[in-house]
Structure 1
Amino acid sequence: METLRERKKQRTRDALLRNGLELFVTRGYDRTTVDEIAESVDVSQRTFFRYFASKEDVAFFVPRLTEAHYVEAVRRRPAEETPLEALRRSVMDSWESIEEAIERYVPVELFLRTYKMIEATPSLFAAHLRRQSETEDEIARIIAEREGVDADTDPRPRLVVAVFGAVIRVTERHWSVGDDFGVAAIRELTASYLDQVGPALAGNWRGSPAGRDRPRES
């Protein structure tokens, strides 16, 4: 059972997280200081560093949670699914279940606005791509293990994860410049773009326009 001290520490961390993200998305990441985040919660800079190593740690706190959630979703997919289907189902199902996990820390709307802020901040976007690369490597090894191959000698696990990861990045980029902050919007856009992987790689593009209005499936 949580003690009063533990609950107080959690409230302080969550307040620093929420206020920090609000400052980032309203004022800009580069224009927000650690001192300002701490002051917004009426704590010292020293207290801030008890919970977070840096501003970047605040910005990526919830994305780390979603990445871990997705990786575990991949681990749990049925063995009979193909690698690409396992990846697709993992990301689509994660969008349905991740909201509750996010809401334990911040409103989902704030989390989604944070993603847009990361996309628009060069230093954070670079870190985001680095993190995605590390996550993709982890997932490639999970796929290799479930398929009984060696990720270091068989290129297929990394190829399928690289293609899938590229689709997710394109989805995030297009979503981040749109007007709809909702989870449903990014989920539907993800499904739409995943539907286009096969035609984009092997089909004839002439006379077959791609876009958001294609039929979507989960």
Structure 2
Amino acid sequence: MSQRDKTRSTVEHMKAEETRRTQPPAPVDRRRRKALRTREALARAAMELVLEEGLDSVTVEAVAERADVTRRTFSRYFAGKEEAALDFARADTERINAALRARPAHEPPLPAYRAAVADWLADPAYAWQDTPGYAGIFALVDSEPTMFAAFERVRVAAQAESVRILAERLGVDPGRDPRPAAVVGAAAGVLLAALRLWIRGGHEAGEDLPALVDRVYATLVTEAGRTPATPQHRTESDTP
């Protein structure tokens, strides 16, 4: 199969999966449904064009045209083509936080976050491994500065919300108690590490993403349980 055929197949598959995965989970009013459809169309158009033509060749006007809306309409939803192409990542972080909020109150913070990620990965409607376009788009985060900046905005907002959720669960002030931020920093970092490993070769080798995430989380637990070496402090006699 030629590269052009591979790209076309990826885009067609992505269209079907994006339509299925972005359906609203609960009834919404007509205006809200229309807004969701417009946002989905713009995000899908941005992803398709970036995969087909490359990030530098894509303009906001081209994205709007493919989605059959005006340039002005595009600006009501997204600040740029990068934000539109990464909208699936924003939606997935919101799903993880919704799952975290719904976890049983008795669960400790780290297991609760890990379970929320597992809940997200277990839903076939949002499976990255079944949507090749997501790997292609996410790979650009590490190679394109503007994509990295767009993703950082998503990441920072998502982790701030995760910290608020865990602080509420613990009944603490996240500005004084380090646990919510520490857990989110570690757990979200593990998830990103697993996603990057998968994108850099795991998905092409057919590696199961949920299993890879489990493996990387297990590494965190193992390393965190190691007894740290006693730090060696210098004394005045050690000074040359």
Give the aligned partner of residue 43 of structure 2.
17
Contact 2:121 2:127 in 1 (8 A): no
Task: Compare 170-179 and 83-92 and name the one that shifted more.
Answer: 170-179
Give the aligned partner of residue 170 of structure 1.
193
**How many angstroms apart in 2 are the aligned matches of 1:69 and 1:183?**
25
**How many angstroms apart in 1 are the aligned matches of 2:197 and 2:41?**
30
Contact 2:61 2:71 in 1 (8 A): yes
Question: TM-score with structure 2 length normalisation?
Answer: 0.70
**How many angstroms apart in 1 are the aligned matches of 2:202 and 2:127?**
21
Bigger-Rg structure (1/2): 2
1:26 is displaced (CA, Å) by 3.1
Give the aligned partner of residue 146 of structure 2.
123
**How many angstroms apart in 2 are the aligned matches of 1:145 and 1:22?**
39
Q: Secondary structure at the match of 1:30?
A: helix
**How many angstroms apart in 2 are the aligned matches of 1:63 and 1:115?**
8
Q: Secondary structure at the match of 2:95?
A: helix
1:56-95 equivalences in 2 (<5 Å): 56-95=82-121
Task: Compare 165-174 and 88-97 and name the one that shifted more.
Answer: 165-174
1:20 is displaced (CA, Å) by 1.7
**How many angstroms apart in 2 are the aligned matches of 1:12 and 1:135?**
23
Q: Secondary structure at the match of 1:150?
A: coil
Q: Deviations over 1:77-103 (max 9, x none)?
A: 011211111011000111122x42689
Q: CA 1:13–1:94 in structure 2 vs 1: closer, same or farther (change >3 Å)? A: closer
1:151 pairs, out of 174, 181, 187, with 174
**How many angstroms apart in 2 are the aligned matches of 1:56 and 1:31?**
12
Moved over 4 A (4+): 5-13, 41-44, 181-184
Q: Does 1:161 align with 2:187?
A: no
Question: TM-score with structure 1 length normalisation?
Answer: 0.76
Q: CA 1:102–1:47 in structure 2 vs 1: closer, same or farther (change >3 Å)? A: farther
* Aligned amino acid, residue 134 of structure 2: F
Task: Compare 148-157 and 21-30 and name the one that shifted more.
Answer: 21-30
* Aligned amino acid, residue 80 of structure 1: H
Identity of aligned residues (%): 34
Structure 2 stretches of 5 or more lacking a match?
1-27, 229-240
Structure 1 stretches of 5 or more lacking a match?
206-218
Q: CA 1:17–1:138 in structure 2 vs 1: closer, same or farther (change >3 Å)? A: closer
Contact 1:171 1:190 in 2 (8 A): yes
